[in-house]
Amino acid sequence: VFEHAPWVAQRVTAQRPFQTVASLDAAMMEALRGASDSEVRAFLNGHPELSGDNLPTDLTDASQAEQSALGMAGTSGAAELAGLNRAYRDRFGFPFIICVARHTAANVLRSLQHRLRGDPADELQTSLAEIGHITRLRLLQRVHGAGAPPSAGRLSGHVLDVASGRPAPDLRVDLLQEGRRAVQALTDADGRVSGLLPPGPLRQGQYELEFHAGAYFAARDVATFYDLIPVRFTISEAEAHYHIPLLLAPFGYSTYRGS
Amino acid sequence: VFEHAPWVAQRVTAQRPFQTVASLDAAMMEALRGASDSEVRAFLNGHPELSGDNLPTDLTDASQAEQSALGMAGTSGAAELAGLNRAYRDRFGFPFIICVARHTAANVLRSLQHRLRGDPADELQTSLAEIGHITRLRLLQRVHGAGAPPSAGRLSGHVLDVASGRPAPDLRVDLLQEGRRAVQALTDADGRVSGLLPPGPLRQGQYELEFHAGAYFAARDVATFYDLIPVRFTISEAEAHYHIPLLLAPFGYSTYRGS
Amino acid sequence: VFEHAPWVAQRVTAQRPFQTVASLDAAMMEALRGASDSEVRAFLNGHPELSGDNLPTDLTDASQAEQSALGMAGTSGAAELAGLNRAYRDRFGFPFIICVARHTAANVLRSLQHRLRGDPADELQTSLAEIGHITRLRLLQRVHGAGAPPSAGRLSGHVLDVASGRPAPDLRVDLLQEGRRAVQALTDADGRVSGLLPPGPLRQGQYELEFHAGAYFAARDVATFYDLIPVRFTISEAEAHYHIPLLLAPFGYSTYRGS
Amino acid sequence: VFEHAPWVAQRVTAQRPFQTVASLDAAMMEALRGASDSEVRAFLNGHPELSGDNLPTDLTDASQAEQSALGMAGTSGAAELAGLNRAYRDRFGFPFIICVARHTAANVLRSLQHRLRGDPADELQTSLAEIGHITRLRLLQRVHGAGAPPSAGRLSGHVLDVASGRPAPDLRVDLLQEGRRAVQALTDADGRVSGLLPPGPLRQGQYELEFHAGAYFAARDVATFYDLIPVRFTISEAEAHYHIPLLLAPFGYSTYRGS
């Protein structure tokens, strides 16, 4: 759970048993924050560099799984990564650490570029906060397995037809993540779509829902100004609920961040 | 339950026991519809005339309670009622029957004026449908008491602040029924108001929600164009859910029939 | 133009001719502001008290016309006025002065109640600013007569039917001023209403446009949730353009302060 | 003006002078419609086939200019065109004729695919209607030169900030035509963009306006849910005015076809 650092777990064994995953994680993070500066820096330096195209063979299984799921391989960002990693380590003395499960590949790069300009003292704290995200997810994964971790993020949509006064059923909705088509769904009888993203934290970054209004109205023999209604938005909280309603008329629509 | 007509219940005793209130009511309504034309007309004529100001002393307890709750006494409509009742009976040969619990006083008058222009054969069927509503509610009342009858109507509201991206809490919302202030509430932490109307069927008619946007924005030191935002709408289905969202910005807003 | 104070005009005669009404007014206001404190206070004290029900007989013609047009007589506010006037004079040593042409009667009272709590030094400046508004309008009136003074305020509306994608023509719009029905109009072929208020400054206060959506949709055989859509708003700039669009669908609408 | 058909002009010389371009065009179109079936078919067959990548060298100057401006060369559609042209001529006995100035390249292909399934008699009429559009534009071009022809189409946008109650100035707006970035503009002080497309008829097809809300709010230090707001719509009338308002709050927006 704590990369190459069994000592973190060892320091909290006396506190066993832990009632919740959260309290175990909090205790271990406290042990880490309570360690000496040189221990903390050694711990940070025990982390692998984030890889673009070729994952190193000596990654821990957890790192291997997390970096593979990020899907940066083959993207335009992969090539930039090596140079940015080097610049980061040169400036701060430890590798760039981020909980990749909470970001899209593009957002990992944006964060790296942003944090490269940060203050060294702040950046140490940011790295520890990212360690906290990583280890919390690793612990949840070991305890709960594939089940949705508690308090994960959520993305949903809802289409209301304000000409008929009813929810819009069977309307196709596509989800794009950083411009890439990720998944496609149909609204249910109540006009809703959910389950667009896998359970767990949301990957922070740029998203777009495309509502296929043209086909919906064509099936009802209604003329419309819109074929496809794209709504682009930023996910900036991995554990929040993002609800995207669309109030749809043939020649006008509204959208907002719902609750 | 069936006004002055114990024979309706007697004709279904052989079918006992009934699993649900709905099946008991359905059986009794079938018995009524299966009765002879003269029995049906006699039954309809056993109903009291709807009264405005002074309720007759010989009403059944159920009629007494229903007509009192309507609250027509003292309204401008009460005076018109006697003349309209007489015209209705002259035209159709039986008194005007309506399930008053499903209408506002103003809407009872609107219905009477509308049905006075109806076709006699249709009007007999309409009267039986109203009997069905009346008896279903009386049965539910006797079985469930004051508890909310199943499948009742519902009215709720929701205020989203699209400038902040969050629900609008503690925003005062007044409900007006036929222009009369009925109840006032505050949105909860999720921006919602519910429980504005008593459990049971909604009274069909004209409603207005008044959202006190001016005080909400003043408390946040934000200039606004609106002091009070009225949303007037028609409830035309007593057993439906009416949801009224307000998407609020300081200088613009949207509302729609939600779901 | 300057109430009982020909000396103000006399002090600027040397500067004649004036190219515009605005420059004449500016010069006279400068003369007033340049006068001694006792001259200014005497000038302010030369103004009549604002009257509710019975206008005094010794008003100048201009004051008489302005106060009559305000329409406070017979309103609930008229009774309060005498007491508030007395309290104001007691506190500040001169009568309450306001350019009544730029306010509704209700707003004159609101202003009086608000200014009663003001700081004496600020209140002297506020009174001179109001004198500036009064004299500018009196000058414009003498020079232009009944024609619309330049840079007056304006109120307009626009209804777009977002189900059909076209402006909504022949839709009845009522204007209420402080809750009183003031004027009624129909949208033109482009869905617009204008000329709802007389030319000149807008009276600051509370307004409501009522859009008769029910009749509009009924004429097109379209079911709707709305009979009458009220939009209440505050006019707080007498010389601004207030544009109120309504984006209308049968079961939802948006409105905003347009431009 | 009439491709390889001076006889059309010759048949109307007796009617000279013509007061307007429209009346000259109407007279010539009447002459064409009044010609014998074989004359009409020969005229249609005098038209060049629409070319994708290599324009034939024997085009009239007008055809050359119109087809070049369409910009189909190098697009994925250019390859399909030859086969579709052949299928069209096989089915109807004359080449596919369309006023290319009134369509995007993608829409020319959509029209060809759609008309290929049409009825032969209808298709002859559709071709003559397209001839009418072509010759009207050629005449206007010869008479007015580069000046905007009367009654051309128009595309404009307007951004209102409903949080501040004011138009949104200096907000970047990009126009995409069939998915390709065509032009970029800034809203003016009244929040408007216009002149996005050259004067003359609008090319029918798919458009997108991208409103750069993120930069607008960032410049005002306001958090927002949106970086870029795309509005995709269909232009289906070449001579109409398309007005696209955006009512913008940091966490919600509305758009509609304006007027």
pLDDT (tens digit per residue) in B42-65 = 999 999 888 877 777 778 888 888
Tell me, what's the pLDDT at A151? Answer: 62
Confidence band, pLDDT 50/70/90 cuts, at residue D146: low
Among the residues of chain B, which ranges form H helices?
6-10, 21-33, 37-45, 61-70, 76-92, 105-115, 120-144, 213-218
Give the residue-averaged pLDDT of B76-87: 87
Looking at residue D111, its amino acid is S
CB contact under 8 A, D258 and C160: yes
Q: Which residues of B touch C234 (CB under 8 A)?
A: 214, 225-227
Q: Which residues of D touch B246 (CB under 8 A)?
A: none
* Phi and psi at residue C128, to the nearest 5°: -65, -40
Instruction: Report residue A61 CA to chain centroid gap.
Output: 20
> Does A73 touch chain C if contact means CB atoms closer than 8 Å?
no
What is the rounded distance in angstroms from the CA atom of residue D242 to the CA atom of residue D183? 16
Query: What's the full length of chain C, in residues?
Result: 259
> Does A221 touch chain C if contact means CB atoms closer than 8 Å?
no
Tell me, what's the pLDDT at B18? Answer: 93
pLDDT for C150 beyond 70:
no
> Does D7 touch chain A if contact means CB atoms closer than 8 Å?
no
In this structure, the strands spanning A241-249 and A154-161 are: parallel
Which two structure tokens, joined as six digits, stand for C67?
Answer: 């106060």
Residue bearing tokens 């035309």: B236
pTM of the model: 0.91
* Phi and psi at residue D223, to the nearest 5°: -70, 145
Q: Which region among A165-174, B166-175, C51-60, D112-121 has the lowest average model confidence (pLDDT)?
A: C51-60
Average pLDDT, chain D: 92
Minimum Cα–Cα distance from D247: chain B residue = B252
Give the residue-averaged pLDDT of D236-250: 96
Residue C148 near residue C200, CB atoms below 8 Å: yes
What is the rounded distance in angstroms from the CA atom of residue C181 to the CA atom of residue C159? 20
Residue A177 near residue A72, CB atoms below 8 Å: no
Residue A142 CB contacts under 8 Å (≥ 6 apart), including other chains: A1
Tell me, what's the pLDDT at C148? Answer: 57
Angle between helices D120-144 and D37-45 (to 10 degrees): 60
Pick from D233, D236, D244, D259 the residue to mutate for testing the A interface (most A CBs within 10 Å): D233
What is the rounded distance in angstroms from the CA atom of residue A45 to the CA atom of residue A94? 5
Tell me the shortest Cα–Cα distance from A220 to chain D, in angstroms: 18
Tell me the shortest Cα–Cα distance from D33 to chain A, in angstroms: 32
Which two structure tokens, joined as six digits, stand for C259?
Answer: 């431009």
Residue B178 CB contacts under 8 Å (≥ 6 apart), including other chains: B104, B105, B106, B107, B205, B206
Percentage of the residues of chain B whose pLDDT score is greater than 70: 98
pLDDT for A72 beyond 60:
yes
Tell me the shortest Cα–Cα distance from B112 to chain A, in angstroms: 27
Confidence band, pLDDT 50/70/90 cuts, at residue D165: very high
What is the rounded distance in angstroms from the CA atom of residue A103 to the CA atom of residue C142? 70
Tell me, what's the pLDDT at C151? Answer: 63
Residue B190 is nearest to which of A191, A247, A259, comparing CB atoms?
A259
> Does B166 touch chain A if contact means CB atoms closer than 8 Å?
yes
Tell me, what's the pLDDT at C152? Answer: 82
What is the rounded distance in angstroms from the CA atom of residue A207 to the CA atom of residue C64? 65
Give the residue-averaged pLDDT of D7-14: 94
Tell me, what's the pLDDT at C146? Answer: 66
What is the rounded distance in angstroms from the CA atom of residue B239 to the CA atom of residue B202? 6
Number of Cβ pairs closer than 8 Å across B and C?
A: 48
According to DSSP, the residues that pair with B159 across neighbouring strands are: B246
Angstrom distances, CA of residue D251 to CA of A255, B48, B251: 9, 56, 14
What is the rounded distance in angstroms from the CA atom of residue B29 to the CA atom of residue B16? 15
What is chain A's alpha carbon radius of gyration, rounded to the nearest angstrom? Answer: 22
Could you tell me which of B236, B235, B217 has the C-alpha nearest to residue B226?
B217
Give the residue-averaged pLDDT of C50-64: 80
Number of Cβ pairs closer than 8 Å across A and C?
A: 38
Q: Which region among A140-144, C213-217, D117-121, D150-154 has the lowest average model confidence (pLDDT)?
A: D150-154
> Does C221 touch chain A if contact means CB atoms closer than 8 Å?
no
Pick from B164, B248, B251 the residue to mutate for testing the D interface (most D CBs within 10 Å): B251
* Phi and psi at residue A126, to the nearest 5°: -60, -40
What is the rounded distance in angstroms from the CA atom of residue D255 to the CA atom of residue A229? 11
According to DSSP, the residues that pair with D243 across neighbouring strands are: D156
What is the rounded distance in angstroms from the CA atom of residue C206 to the CA atom of residue C236? 9
Q: Which region among A34-38, C73-77, C216-220 has the lowest average model confidence (pLDDT)?
A: C73-77
What is chain D's alpha carbon radius of gyration, rounded to the nearest angstrom? Answer: 22
> Does B228 touch chain C if contact means CB atoms closer than 8 Å?
yes
Instruction: Report residue D165 CA to chain centroid gap.
Output: 35
Average pLDDT, chain B: 92
Confidence band, pLDDT 50/70/90 cuts, at residue B148: low
